[in-house]
Amino acid sequence: MNAPIAGSRRPAPEALASVLGELSSRFGERFVVNATIREQHGRGEGLADLAAPDAVVFPETSDEVATIVKACAAARVPVIPFGIGTSLEGHVAAIHGGVCVDLSRMAKVLEINADDLDCRVQAGVSREQLNAELKGTGLFFPIDPGANATIGGMAATRASGTNAVRYGTMRENVLGLTVVTADGRIITTGGRARKSAAGYDLTRLFVGSEGTLGVITEIRLKLYGVPEAISAAVAQFADLESAVRAVIVAMQMSIPVARIELLDALQMDACIRYSKLDGYEIKPTLFFEFHGTDAGVAEQAGLMQQIVADHGGGSFRWATATEERTRLWKARHNAYYAALALKPGCFGFSTDACVPISRLAQCVMETRADVESTGLTCPIVGHVGDGNFHLLVLFDPKDAAERARAEGLAERVSLRAIRLGGTCTGEHGVGVHKLGALVAEHGEAVDYLRAIKRAFDPLGIMNPGKTVPE
Amino acid sequence: MNAPIAGSRRPAPEALASVLGELSSRFGERFVVNATIREQHGRGEGLADLAAPDAVVFPETSDEVATIVKACAAARVPVIPFGIGTSLEGHVAAIHGGVCVDLSRMAKVLEINADDLDCRVQAGVSREQLNAELKGTGLFFPIDPGANATIGGMAATRASGTNAVRYGTMRENVLGLTVVTADGRIITTGGRARKSAAGYDLTRLFVGSEGTLGVITEIRLKLYGVPEAISAAVAQFADLESAVRAVIVAMQMSIPVARIELLDALQMDACIRYSKLDGYEIKPTLFFEFHGTDAGVAEQAGLMQQIVADHGGGSFRWATATEERTRLWKARHNAYYAALALKPGCFGFSTDACVPISRLAQCVMETRADVESTGLTCPIVGHVGDGNFHLLVLFDPKDAAERARAEGLAERVSLRAIRLGGTCTGEHGVGVHKLGALVAEHGEAVDYLRAIKRAFDPLGIMNPGKTVPE
């Protein structure tokens, strides 16, 4: 079923056969070549075309991962780490063939250190599983990219999501890693100290490396105390710029808002219809969430309400009851499906521009005009406290010209963000789609990305074709 | 005046002479070989022996830094970046000779973007200068390692200090860098977006690289709104463990304390005498600082007071008046001098262990017993919210055996921290003193530190002999 990939550098057939034979006898039923399983592993949730691996192996320990990598290294066969398949940028597509390392059987929470607000988990633990296992400890892990991704995948793509404005991204929340390197060694990076000045920051180098420098098998994470109080609020604005200006003021006042989400009028229209959000207008809208003590949350919300009023925002609606809050955030999480419902039969994918917040209104406005020139339907949601917004680009999958227009639009969004001092990807990663934009963003520094890749993976077997422009 | 350094690999004399001649004609009076100036640049504030560079050059632009590095690279002459000389780990000692690049003439604040809470500065800007230039903007830069270090030096050593518990370290607060690489190219890393998933994290790789991968010439930093209210408090405890337990509870409750500093009874004794802190007892003591709104600060302090009481802490003394607060923090900043005054004629240096907070009491207690076995006088201060503490090791510089005992003690502190799940350096860096401890801490991962060094500096000219064990 694999479409031929231009420039594919598949391994030599005899070498591949030899590795597959070796892994088959070593892993038995945990070595799979069934076409359906391989195809399930050959594409994430983004736009990337299907590129199934030659086999899928399900290791249960770091040692087993090391065994797989050593076998692949000896035969120059690509290794593609796989968490749960929610990647949006084609990270898991086996574009040069090879062996997929599915980490779903490494799903143990290994330590929870309540006194130190940290834990250690295997890479296949999902964020919802981790939070379920933290129930009763008074702690939680905040990073929430929407999808129920694995912690390993989130570390590998430097994921974040709606509450990064308060809690940071995986960059700030990974304390250390266990990694199987490209020659099959097992190393640990970082540690349990909250900070360290001991040498180059290997942890931060592997966070966001998308499986191209090694396979992350264990992750140490920061945890947080569950807030005493949580409340949500919604404010609607006459125009997008007023909404953004209100957020800038809140950031300058250091109001520790836990989430600030922007929905443009089109997305709000979609959400009102899809999630039955009665009583809201089709206007640019901010969703807020506040975490803290009872008094602290009331104060934050009060300050925010004043700021909203100062910017012409109306209808500051509170949602202190868990039920109402859940309804709001469910609507936000379902924004993608609400958007798809605007154009039944369409596919959708998400852009990921992130700009300095002062440029956000301009970036969104120019993008909106650009969208209109394409004739496509593209609502916008944004983690506006971070300057990160997603254009949900809808297109008819049967219309090749429309897909091309959609891809062209996405590329222009990346380049626009870079031109405005931002980045082509705030949280989805590079994968196969952003290699060109990365060169535009980093210029000559890309040579040093290549130098790192060569230093860590001299044979070029770790998730080849991703992350680093060749 | 240079003592011969064991294993020194000085550049070939003809090559060195040729580079010095080239730089002299290029930089004129900004090229200095005067012995006094060279010696001022050959040692920081730590224990490292003097190792003066062969020349000191004072560039004014990144291009000029590139010119220097290119000349040195062509002749295989070491390049040692220099900020203001407050390094504690021998980072600036020219142990293999070479050219010191003094960045003090690159001291411009280049941009302040109030809307985006960021700025861009040249490497030679000091943190006090930056905060002076931010006056009137409503913003400040919080990271405070005590010394008035340069931002370039702070980035290069991944510095932090008393308020890292609230605001993070340089790791979290650098958005991007301009770096002159080892072959004299000028690259930029990161950008103005608050987060990015665009490729390997070059910014975090250069932060903490101690001049061994390139010369940092410009830094983009996060800024913060000046809090509406600031207050301080002091609490004293019967024993160290109770003080530490109180801090753990505060961390678990996510009380956003801006500073929590521990002073042991000996350090408190020294501070009471040196800084005339009337009304305090000679007991383990916590200094707190709270930032926020008026109501928020009052709430934080109230919660903290309750926690202190729950842990048997007495005399929770408030200091809302700026004057009293300044007096307290001045006493904390002068802890080093207060300690020196305990043993007139002694030198002092600081260890830098950082452990998971649950291990802090054990680490401090074992260290205290170890100190007693040495007969040395060593008070303790700690950024206790981070698990980072400093033993101020006093010794008689005329007594070689005592110095050896002091150095042995320091090494054992590093190894103890590592054994307890921590790091040999929370914030001072590796330099020349922690190379052995780094191997104990990172194990096989050190090979990947070496791989990075080779990839970025194949000629080995960038601050050689530091940071990466050979």
Top-confidence residue, A252 or B309: B309
Q: Under DSSP, is residue A412 helix (H, G, I), strand (E, B) or coil?
A: helix
d(CA B243, CA B263): 10
Residues of chain B in contact with residue A197, where contact means CB-CB under 8 angstroms, are 157-159, 208, 352, 423, 425-430
| A115 to B201: CB separation less than 8 angstroms, yes or no | no
| A444 to B185: CB separation less than 8 angstroms, yes or no | yes
Same fold? A13-104, A343-451 = no
Contacts of B20 by beta carbon, 8 Å cutoff, 6+ apart: B31, B33, B54, B55, B99
CATH of domain B343-428: 3.30.70.2740
Closest-CA residue to B220 (of B111, B103, B60): B111
Q: How many CB atoms lie within 10 A of CB B458?
A: 12
C-alpha distance from B133 to closest chain A C-alpha (Å): 17
Interface test with A, best of B202, B206, B448, B467 (most A CBs within 10 A): B448
| A248 to B355: CB separation less than 8 angstroms, yes or no | no
Residue A11 DSSP symbol: P
Whether B244 shows a pLDDT value over 90: the answer reads: no
d(CA B373, CA B367): 10
Residues of chain B in contact with residue A115, where contact means CB-CB under 8 angstroms, are 248, 252, 356-358
Which residue in the set B118, B205, B224 is minimally distant from A201, CB to CB? Answer: B205
pLDDT at res. B254: 82
C-alpha distance from B169 to closest chain A C-alpha (Å): 8
Chain B's closest residue to A182, CA to CA, is B448
pLDDT bin (cut points 50, 70, 90) of residue B1 is very low
Written as six digits, the tokens of B325 are 């607060």
Angle value at C-alpha B316, between B368 and B241, nearest 5 degrees: 25
pLDDT at res. B328: 87
C-alpha distance from A254 to closest chain B C-alpha (Å): 6
d(CA A357, CA A345): 34
Report the phi/psi class of residue B366: left, alpha or beta, with left for phi > 0 and alpha for psi in -120 to 50: alpha
| A209 to B187: CB separation less than 8 angstroms, yes or no | no
Closest-CA residue to B113 (of B27, B66, B176): B176
CATH class of B229-337: alpha beta
pLDDT tens-digit profile, chain A (470 residues): 334 445 568 999 999 999 999 999 999 999 999 999 999 999 999 888 899 999 999 999 999 999 999 999 999 999 999 999 999 999 999 999 999 999 999 999 999 999 999 999 999 999 999 999 999 999 999 999 989 999 999 999 999 999 999 999 999 999 999 999 999 999 999 999 999 999 999 999 999 999 999 999 999 999 999 999 999 999 999 998 899 889 988 887 888 899 999 999 999 999 999 999 888 999 999 999 999 989 999 999 999 999 999 999 987 888 777 888 888 888 988 998 999 999 999 999 999 999 999 999 899 999 999 999 999 999 999 999 999 999 999 999 999 999 999 999 999 999 999 999 999 999 999 999 999 999 999 999 999 999 999 999 999 999 999 999 98
Helix, strand, coil percentages for chain A (3-state, nearest 5):
40, 20, 40
Answer whether B8's CB lies under 8 Å from B46's CB. no
Which residue in the set B199, B449, B454 is minimally distant from A199, CB to CB? Answer: B449
Domain limits of chain B?
Answer: 13-104, 106-225, 229-337, 343-428
| A426 to B197: CB separation less than 8 angstroms, yes or no | yes
Answer whether A441's CB lies under 8 Å from A411's CB. no
pLDDT at res. A420: 97
CATH class of A13-104: alpha beta
Interface test with B, best of A173, A213, A350, A448 (most B CBs within 10 A): A448
At A151, the amino acid letter reads I
pLDDT at res. B155: 98
Query: For A197, how many CA atoms within 13 A lie in the half-sphere containing its CB?
Result: 35
Which residue in the set A114, A224, A452 is minimally distant from B254, CB to CB? Answer: A224
pLDDT at res. B278: 84
Which residue in the set B117, B197, B456 is minimally distant from A251, CB to CB? Answer: B117
Sheet holding A31-32, edge to edge: A31-32, A55-57, A99-102, A79-82
C-alpha distance from B405 to closest chain A C-alpha (Å): 23
Residues of chain A in contact with residue B163, where contact means CB-CB under 8 angstroms, are none
DSSP B274-320: HHT-TT--SS-EEEEEEEE-HHHHHHHHHHHHHHHHHTT-EEEEEE-
CATH of domain A343-451: 3.30.70.2740
d(CA B117, CA B1): 47
Residue A108 DSSP symbol: -
Query: For A117, how many CA atoms within 13 A lie in the half-sphere containing its CB?
Result: 25
C-alpha distance from B374 to closest chain A C-alpha (Å): 26
Closest-CA residue to A2 (of A85, A83, A90, A93): A93
| B299 to A296: CB separation less than 8 angstroms, yes or no | yes
Strands B99-102 and B55-57: parallel
Contacts of B326 by beta carbon, 8 Å cutoff, 6+ apart: none
Give the burial string for B216-241 (b: 16+ CB within 10 Å, else e).
bbbbbbbbbbbbeebbbbbbbbeebb
Closest-CA residue to B202 (of B214, B184, B193): B214
Residue A407 DSSP symbol: H
Rg (CA), chain A: 22
pLDDT at res. A7: 59
Question: pLDDT of B89-117, one tens digit each?
Answer: 999 999 999 999 999 999 999 999 999 99
Q: How many CB atoms lie within 10 A of CB B6?
A: 6
| B187 to A448: CB separation less than 8 angstroms, yes or no | yes
d(CA B348, CA B370): 17
Query: Average per-residue pLDDT in chain B?
Result: 94
d(CA B157, CA B91): 9
Whether B458 shows a pLDDT value over 50: the answer reads: yes
Backbone angles phi, psi at B456, to 5 degrees: -90, -25
pLDDT at res. A5: 47
Which residue in the set A422, A438, A448 is minimally distant from B456, CB to CB? Answer: A448
Interface test with A, best of B115, B178, B200, B433 (most A CBs within 10 A): B200
- Does the domain at A106-225 match CATH 3.30.465.10? Answer given as yes
* Whole-number percent of chain B with pLDDT over 90: 86
Contacts of B159 by beta carbon, 8 Å cutoff, 6+ apart: A197, B143, B145, B149, B153, B169, B170, B427
C-alpha distance from A338 to closest chain B C-alpha (Å): 26
Question: pLDDT of B333-371, one tens digit each?
Answer: 899 899 999 999 999 999 999 999 999 989 999 999 999
Residue A294 DSSP symbol: H
Question: pLDDT of B405-446, one tens digit each?
Answer: 999 999 999 999 999 999 999 999 999 999 999 999 999 999
Residue B195: Cβ-neighbour burial (10 angstroms; 0-12, 13-18, 19+):
buried
pLDDT at res. A4: 41
Answer whether A138's CB lies under 8 Å from A223's CB. no
Chain B's closest residue to A185, CA to CA, is B444
Residues of chain B in contact with residue A208, where contact means CB-CB under 8 angstroms, are 197, 199-201
pLDDT bin (cut points 50, 70, 90) of residue B7 is low
Residue A317 DSSP symbol: E
Which residue in the set B172, B194, B205 is minimally distant from A200, CB to CB? Answer: B205
Closest-CA residue to B304 (of B228, B253, B262, B264): B253
pLDDT at res. B3: 41
Answer whether B151's CB lies under 8 Å from B216's CB. no
| B299 to A303: CB separation less than 8 angstroms, yes or no | no
Residues of chain A in contact with residue B434, where contact means CB-CB under 8 angstroms, are 198
Which residue in the set A117, A213, A429 is minimally distant from B197, CB to CB? Answer: A429
| B197 to A427: CB separation less than 8 angstroms, yes or no | yes
Residue A241: Cβ-neighbour burial (10 angstroms; 0-12, 13-18, 19+):
middle
Is ipTM strictly over 0.90? yes
Answer whether B454's CB lies under 8 Å from A454's CB. no
At B246, the amino acid letter reads A
Closest-CA residue to A114 (of A135, A90, A83): A135
